[in-house]
Chain A
Amino acid sequence: GAGVSQSPRYKVAKRGQDVALRCDPISGHVSLFWYQQALGQGPEFLTYFQNEAQLDKSGLPSDRFFAERPEGSVSTLKIQRTQQEDSAVYLCASTLSGGLVSGYTFGSGTRLTVV
């Protein structure tokens, strides 16, 4: 596709519910990143994939957060037993090679609200 596509755009979850957020990167982009953006804050790094390999997951805030990219293209961020503090916009970004020369291309994000 022309850009990074994320779905759903909005998700309301009851506290304790599991959610799955999807990211379709730009075709051919090797690297994929997930960021969490709380209201009024800058994005914070969650995890990074190069193809199907998850090379850095040091930003995941707890073991309730899990990400996968099994075929090296589409990625899913899963949050188990959601808590109110998980409410945020979850941004996905991809790059052609993993380096920053060309910059990230971000999707429009999924806004998660936990009630």
Chain B
Amino acid sequence: QQQVKQSPQSLIVQKGGISIINCAYENTAFDYFPWYQQFPGKGPALLIAIRPDVSEKKEGRFTISFNKSAKQFSLHIMDSQPGDSATYFCAASKETSGSRLTFGEGTQLTVNP
């Protein structure tokens, strides 16, 4: 059972545009929602994370929007750059010691120059 659903599967934007990736989760016990960025041949790297007590978190050009009632959260990349071209994964977890991450299927982002 896929507990975290991610869309779109792929996304192409122009340099300077806004990239938006969406995720929906099922398990209401989840209380930690990170986004990871993965380049080819590398492991995922933490980009930004949010907890459900806030509706939005911004770090530089990256913003997470969180809708607890809808069980949805999204990543917005402002002023997208070619260097942002990578695969992005949303994830969810219940934050306890040893908590596993449940990942979405991933979104391959391409930013054209």
CB-defined contacts of A25 to chain B, threshold 8 Å: none
The 8 A CB mask of A49-60 against B (1 = contact, 0 = none) is 010000110010
Q: Shortest beta-carbon distance, A78 to chain B, in Å?
A: 20
Q: Which of A88-107 contact B (CB under 8 A)?
A: 91, 93, 97-101, 103-104, 106-107
Q: Shortest beta-carbon distance, A73 to chain B, in Å?
A: 17
Q: Which of A65-115 contact B (CB under 8 A)?
A: 91, 93, 97-101, 103-104, 106-109
Residues on A facing B (Cβ under 8 Å): 4, 31, 33, 40-45, 48, 50, 55-56, 59, 91, 93, 97-101, 103-104, 106-109
List 13 interface pairs A-B (beta carbons < 8 Å), by A numbering: A40-B106, A41-B105, A42-B4, A42-B6, A43-B103, A45-B101, A50-B97, A59-B100, A99-B95, A99-B96, A99-B97, A106-B44, A108-B41
